[in-house]
């Protein structure tokens, strides 16, 4: 009886010093912390299992394991929302609706996205294996037509030799209503403050693509121009720099699947799972430029091909 009375007094004292709502909150927070800890352990065990499995897997088995890590079949949801971007690309003449439909006539999944070019939408942009060409072309149009300090004053002007239409990202664009020379940096679709412009330039200068040795601040090909368009849109919508790098890595991975599966295998060889790789590091000159990817490829010669790669054209 004495023990019971002591327990009762203890509970009353606790309730006097700690409000009931706080006690409930502590219980809830404890559950969240436990759940988070379990998720971290599970994720770590999964990554370790993948690494162990890769040590005994054949090249073909390894490529399928890594392919699902790098370019998951379910696709990848980007952080930005469509809003009215599609409608603006049509109204500015950057995209010719009929030409776009004809370009994707044999890609029914990509054609479904045409709805986003004619309607306001709170849907997030997304990418998968079937619509990766649609996304690179849409973002290419965005980067090309959007009024940009980078296009007006950056590397495109520096290396143009007096004519910015000589690059693949400009001379190669054929899906607009107007001539590319009229579209280039012509419409304030994404209006950025000076601070935001500096953020865009900082990110763009540190992001490379496997088709060439240039960073995104010099968007001389379609993938570079598309990445520039995405960075500008993401910065405007307030997406964190960390997430922007993550999204750019996903875009590059779907545009250059062979390269990034090879890169994942390269890191795997160093006992580092793909999900643990810092996206900013993966997108750096060391790994994502044509020269960087060549070094990776030379050390991973046994990786079989997983299909055709995206080219620098519409």
The pair of structure tokens assigned to 154 is: 């950056």
Evaluate whether residue 310 is within a structural domain.
no
Confidence tier at 299 by pLDDT (50, 70, 90): confident
Query: 142 and 95: one domain?
Result: yes
Per-residue model confidence (pLDDT) at position 2: 41
Evaluate whether residue 62 is within a structural domain.
no
Among the residue ranges 2-6, 187-191, 211-215, 305-309, the one predicted with the least confidence is 2-6
Among the residue ranges 148-152, 262-266, 283-287, 304-308, the one predicted with the least confidence is 304-308
Query: 169 and 287: one domain?
Result: yes
Model confidence pLDDT, tens digit, residues 236-257 = 999 999 999 999 999 999 999 9
Per-residue model confidence (pLDDT) at position 7: 43
Evaluate whether residue 305 is within a structural domain.
no
Evaluate whether residue 290 is within a structural domain.
yes
Query: 242 and 125: one domain?
Result: yes
Model confidence at 163: pLDDT above 80: yes
Per-residue model confidence (pLDDT) at position 19: 54
Model confidence at 285: pLDDT above 60: yes
Evaluate whether residue 307 is within a structural domain.
no
Q: Regarding predicted confidence, which is higher, 297 or 279? A: 279
Among the residue ranges 76-80, 109-113, 163-167, 217-221, the one predicted with the least confidence is 109-113
Report yes or no: 266 and 295 within 8 Å, Cβ to Cβ: no
The pair of structure tokens assigned to 237 is: 């919508």
Query: 140 and 86: one domain?
Result: yes
Query: 150 and 254: one domain?
Result: yes
Model confidence pLDDT, tens digit, residues 103-138 = 998 888 887 889 999 999 999 999 999 999 999 999
Confidence tier at 24 by pLDDT (50, 70, 90): very low
Q: Could you list the residue range(s) of the whole structural domain that residue 28 is in?
A: 2-56
Over the chain, what is the mean pLDDT?
85
Distance CA 192, CA 103 (A): 31
Evaluate whether residue 32 is within a structural domain.
yes
Model confidence at 57: pLDDT above 60: no
What percentage of the chain exceeds 90 in pLDDT?
A: 69
Query: 112 and 31: one domain?
Result: no
Q: Give the global pTM.
A: 0.81
Query: 139 and 32: one domain?
Result: no
Number of structural domains, the chain? 2
């Amino acid at each position: 009886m004495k023990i019971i009375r002591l327990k009762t007094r203890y509970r009353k004292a606790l309730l006097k010093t700690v409000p009931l709502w706080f006690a409930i909150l502590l219980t809830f927070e404890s559950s969240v912390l436990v759940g988070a800890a379990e998720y971290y352990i599970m994720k770590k065990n999964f990554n370790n299992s993948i690494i162990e499995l890769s040590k005994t897997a054949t090249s073909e088995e390894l490529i399928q394991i890594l392919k699902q890590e790098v370019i998951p079949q379910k696709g990848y949801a980007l952080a930005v929302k469509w809003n009215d971007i599609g409608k603006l690309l049509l109204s500015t003449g950057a995209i010719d609706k009929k030409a776009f439909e004809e370009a994707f006539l044999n890609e029914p999944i990509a054609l479904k996205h045409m709805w986003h070019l004619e309607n306001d939408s709170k849907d997030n942009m997304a990418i998968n294996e079937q619509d990766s060409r649609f996304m690179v072309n849409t973002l290419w149009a965005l980067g090309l037509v959007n009024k940009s300090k980078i296009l007006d004053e950056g590397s495109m002007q520096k290396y143009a030799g007096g004519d910015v239409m000589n690059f693949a990202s400009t001379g190669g664009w054929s899906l607009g209503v107007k001539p590319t020379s009229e579209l280039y940096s012509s419409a304030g679709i994404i209006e950025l403050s000076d601070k935001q412009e500096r953020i865009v330039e900082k990110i763009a200068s540190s992001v490379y693509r496997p088709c060439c040795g240039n960073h995104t601040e010099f968007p001389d090909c379609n993938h570079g121009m598309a990445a520039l368009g995405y960075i500008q849109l993401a910065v405007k919508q307030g997406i964190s720099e960390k997430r922007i790098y993550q999204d750019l890595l996903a875009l590059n991975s779907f545009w250059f699947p062979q390269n990034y599966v090879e890169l994942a295998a390269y890191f795997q060889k160093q006992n580092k799972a793909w999900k643990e790789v810092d996206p900013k590091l993966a997108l750096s000159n060391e790994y994502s430029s044509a020269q960087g990817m060549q070094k990776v490829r030379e050390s991973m010669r046994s990786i079989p091909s997983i299909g055709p790669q995206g080219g620098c054209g519409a």
